Structure 1
Amino acid sequence: MLNLHYKEQGQGYPILLIHGLFGSLSNLGILAKHLAGLSYRVISVDTLNHGLSPRSESMNYQLQAKAVKTLCEKLDISQCAIVGHSMGGKIAMATAQLYPDLVSALVVGDIAPVAYQHNHTAVFSGLKSFDPKDIKSRSDAESLLAEHIQEAGVRQFLLKSLANTKQGWQWLFNIEQLALCYNSIIGWEQFGQFEHACLFIKGENSDYIVSKYQQSVGQQFPKAELKMIAGTGHWLHAEKPAIFNRLTEQFLAKHI
């Protein structure tokens, strides 16, 4: 059984937070702390092959949604709201479509219910270019990543999942398995319509939610709302956390 690792804080109506590719449950930590302070029960999740969650040979969204459902059963949660960013947004959408009675409301950060043509070739090249056990510091890792990844923000995001353990430095995600599952991660299979409230939050400078995807969003999430955060990209929750938190807070207060 795929028992997801999680962190829980606060009390009240349950809200699950699901991070994106190459991340961990700490990525939505600012939002988690904010919502916990508003009297919500916040459960932050490590997805499969990330953080301290199990390693899995499959990462299709039906399996990942089932893992979320299993966690809810373990925590005696019969209904919750879910906030997901990027890949985590797809996991959230799949969970809502497959288990609509479980999900009362949905917040999706900068991702659409479509198959993408995006690639992370440079990221995988950088991650595979060295064995973290051979480095002496985090700055060593950044220098090696910089040979493949130009964007400093992307490097800093990845380095959040580099841990200094008793066995030496190591990534908290399974690089090989993520590469093998990559087509599933960027892909999408519709599992039905979600008839409850749903908020999509787009980063103005990101190309993950564009006009050509509006039809897919409307067909699968007929009650969807769209908000945009100006001057930010795909990592909108990290770049403009106050605005992202406020939009999420206002939406949840209205719909749960």
Structure 2
Amino acid sequence: MVFLHGGGQTRRSWSRAAAVVAERGWQAVTVDLRGHGESDWSGDGDYRVVSFAGDIQEVLRQLPARPVLVGASLGGFTSMLLVGELAPEIASAVVLVDIVPDMDPSGATRVHAFMADRIESGFGSLDEVADMIAEYNPHRPRPADLDGLRTNLRRRGDRWYWHWDPQFISGTAAFPPIEIIDTDRMNAAVAAILRDRVPMLLIRGQMSDLVRQETADEFLARFPQVEFTDVGGAGHMVAGDRNDIFAQAVLEFLARHVDAG
């Protein structure tokens, strides 16, 4: 099972989910997308979704055939283009985590604003970072131990900065991820995946402002083959908010469609 994080996250956002599925017999692989975490930044500013997908295609060449892809947000878009365009049937199943082709524009704007804030000026302390995250995600308790934030930040001098390449979010990249607003292309990719009879699950956070209930309903009406789980008490960061329910939903879906052995 290969986990692909969302924009502005790292592979470590899947730590608990990966541990749960590994305990159930799956090999769990988490990946830092280009420009994120410990992966290199793109020298030519190429952050197209199709380029993320090409990277993952190369990673999958080193792994057992036909893994399950679990993609959150940007990772979900990457999964759509990889399985629906670049490499049909490369995956045995696809799990989309709080993302659909026709995402809510106001929610996307809110996510973008959070990521862009302090991208140049950075933070004077980890407490500042925790305060900003708590304001963005008021339903999630502010952590008492801030050491976990270090995986999402880089220290330069006496200030902390987000781990991702500023070009990815600032609009200055030569090749931005413009595909995320190409709804027709993404819907076509999903349709191609389903035509190939690759099982698909959509997991939505009930408090998500990126995939609202009506948005999910429209997606499911368009693609009735897609299975659906709504996770109460979770926002856009479903696995981080309610990992127990999230992991169980994935495992139950896979028990119906894919053999872990």
**Structure 1-normalised TM-score?**
0.78
Match of 2:201 among 195, 199, 212: 199
Matched, 1:123 2:126: no
Alignment correspondent of 1:69: 57
Matches within 5 A, 1:152-167: 160-164=151-155
Aligned residues of 2:104 and 2:209 also touching (Cα < 8 A): no
**Structure 2-normalised TM-score?**
0.77
Percent identical among aligned pairs is 21
Q: Secondary structure at the match of 2:244?
A: helix
Match of 1:177 among 140, 146, 168: 168
Matched, 1:227 2:229: yes
Q: Which runs of 4+ in 1 moved over 6 A?
A: 154-159, 165-168
Aligned residues of 2:18 and 2:28 also touching (Cα < 8 A): yes
Q: Secondary structure at the match of 1:44?
A: strand
Q: Secondary structure at the match of 2:82?
A: helix
Task: Note the C-alpha offset of 1:59.
Answer: 2.0
Q: Which moved more, 1:19-28 or 1:86-95?
A: 86-95
Matches within 5 A, 1:16-95: 16-56=2-42, 57-73=45-61, 75-95=62-82
CA distance in 2, matches of 1:66, 1:52: 18
Unaligned runs of 5+ in 2: none
Please list the CA deviations of residues 98-117 of structure 1 after superposition, one character each: whole Å capped at 9, or x if unmatched.
22221110111110023652
CA distance in 1, matches of 2:77, 2:234: 20
Unaligned runs of 5+ in 1: 1-14
CA distance in 1, matches of 2:149, 2:181: 22
1:17 partner amino acid? F
Alignment correspondent of 2:214: 211
CA distance in 1, matches of 2:257, 2:233: 27
* Number of residues of Structure 1 aligned to a counterpart in Structure 2: 235
Higher strand share: 1
What is the aligned-residue RMSD (CA, Å)?
3.1
Aligned residues of 2:71 and 2:95 also touching (Cα < 8 A): yes
